[in-house]
Structure 1
Amino acid sequence: MKIALLGYGRMGQTIEKIAISRGHDVILKIDKDDKDYDITEADVAIDFSLPTAAFGNITNCLYNGVPVVSGTTGWLEHYDEAVALCNKKKGAFIYASNFSLGVNIFFELNKTLAKMMSNLSQYQVTMEEIHHIKKLDAPSGTAITLAEGVIENNKNYDAWELDNTDKETTIPIAAKRIEDVPGTHSVNYKSEVDSINIEHIAHNRQGFALGAVVAAEWLVGKTGVFSMKDVLYL
């Protein structure tokens, strides 16, 4: 498979190593300042660029008939436009806030727990995410996905908010930035008598990168807009 990497930071470099180890060729590596490039020779593109560049990268792929996998967060105000363009062009597109196989299992565990806690209003939900100091957006896309999973499955909540909130129906998300932390996410239910916590801790970036390559392998030859649930048959 011929892969174009759109974004060549730490994630892009890790993806490159894993892709090559799985027998693929990385034919294009676009850094943040590159704007003029030919995407048409690629079988698939993997986007881990900047929030300001992601939508342009994705639309360029879709206009040129190249399947695209995006893990960039912070651009989702344009997500519906990307979906509409993908459907119009009969392209192939996967966006995920987190491509880690373990995190996507964690997403489903979070939804199941939210359903179980829906009738137990004495428990208050809080969330925390910790990432490295170079992460640009807060809260993380993964934390937002977790919060949305609770909101969809627990009748006691209808919104999330960064940091503390006085609103009982709003989930507070604490975002911390600490040197060299790949990603830690926790969902906490606390009552006066006890607490229930679920947590995912990434030990390195390998899991994120592997999931992105697996998603790219799965996407080639397909048409439509997909998620990691489709890739992992969850």
Structure 2
Amino acid sequence: MKIALIGYGKMGKEIEAIALERGHEVVSRIDISTNDSFDDTAFKSAEVAIEFTRPEAAYNNYLNCFERNIPVVSGTTGWLDRMPEIEKECKENGQTFFYASNFSLGVNIFFELNKQLARIMNKVKEYDVSMEEVHHTQKLDEPSGTAITLAEGISNNLERKETWTLDSDSKDNEIHIKAIREGQVPGIHTIKYDSPVDEIHIHHSAKSRKGFALGAVLAAEFTKGRNGLLSMNDLLNL
């Protein structure tokens, strides 16, 4: 499969290494550090584009791909207010877009565990829920897209919680998210249910970027030949 990389930082290079290991060809690398362009013949030959950039650049990157009818796999977070426009491109113009706030297979299993625990906690009102997420200092959005997905998984399944907040003085219907930025941490997410007598924690800690990169390449393999809006639930058949 011919892959175009949009974003050629640490994650882009990790994705490239795994793509090559799996027998794919990287035909274009678009980044401020390269000279490749959306208008190059090499980019137009790509069967899938994998995009990991910055929130302010992501949406225009998607449009550049759609103009050339190239399916997109993206893990950039912090731009989701424009997701309805991407959905419209897929439904009305036949484009293909695979989005995940986190491509790690383990994290997506964690998402499902989180939803199931929230459903169970509907029956046990003595527990209050909160979250802590830790990322490297280069992480631009706060909270992380993964943390927001986890919070939505809770609020959609736990009736007493409606939304999330970064404010430590949270209301009863809010999930407090504590966001920490330090060192080179790839990503740690902890959900805590606290009662007067005990605590229940579920926790995911990434050891490196490799798990995210592998998931992105698997998503690209899955996306080739498909249409519409896709997610890790489709890939993993969750």
Aligned to 1:10: 10
Counterparts of 2:76 and 2:158 in 1: how far apart (Å)?
Answer: 28
Shift of 1:32: 4.0
Aligned to 2:157: 153
Local SS of the residue matching 1:171: strand
Aligned to 1:164: 168
Provide the aligned C-alpha RMSD in A. Answer: 1.3
Counterparts of 1:58 and 1:109 in 2: how far apart (Å)?
Answer: 31
Q: Please, which of 85, 91, 98 is the counterpart of residue 94 of structure 1?
A: 98
Q: Please, which of 204, 209, 227 is the counterpart of residue 208 of structure 2?
A: 204
Task: Provide structure 2 residue ranges, at least 5 long, that are not aligned to the other structure.
Answer: none
Shift of 1:64: 1.5
1:187 equivalent to 2:191? Answer: yes
Q: Please, which of 106, 111, 120 is the counterpart of residue 124 of structure 2?
A: 120
Aligned to 2:31: 31
Shift of 1:37: 2.2
Q: For residues 132-143 of structure 1, what are the structure 2 equivalents within 5 Å?
A: 132-143=136-147
Structure 1 runs of 4+ with >2 Å offset: 32-39
Of 131-140 and 28-37, deviating more is 28-37
Counterparts of 2:88 and 2:36 in 1: how far apart (Å)?
Answer: 23
User: If the length of structure 2 is used for normalisation, what is the TM-score?
Assistant: 0.95
Q: Please, which of 62, 72, 81 is the counterpart of residue 77 of structure 1?
A: 81
| Identity over aligned pairs, percent | 53
Preserved contact between residue 32 and residue 50 of structure 1 (Cα < 8 Å):
no
Shift of 1:15: 0.3
Counterparts of 1:194 and 1:169 in 2: how far apart (Å)?
Answer: 21
Shift of 1:35: 8.8
Counterparts of 1:222 and 1:197 in 2: how far apart (Å)?
Answer: 38
Counterparts of 1:190 and 1:44 in 2: how far apart (Å)?
Answer: 44
Shift of 1:60: 1.5
Of 194-203 and 88-97, deviating more is 88-97
Local SS of the residue matching 1:211: helix
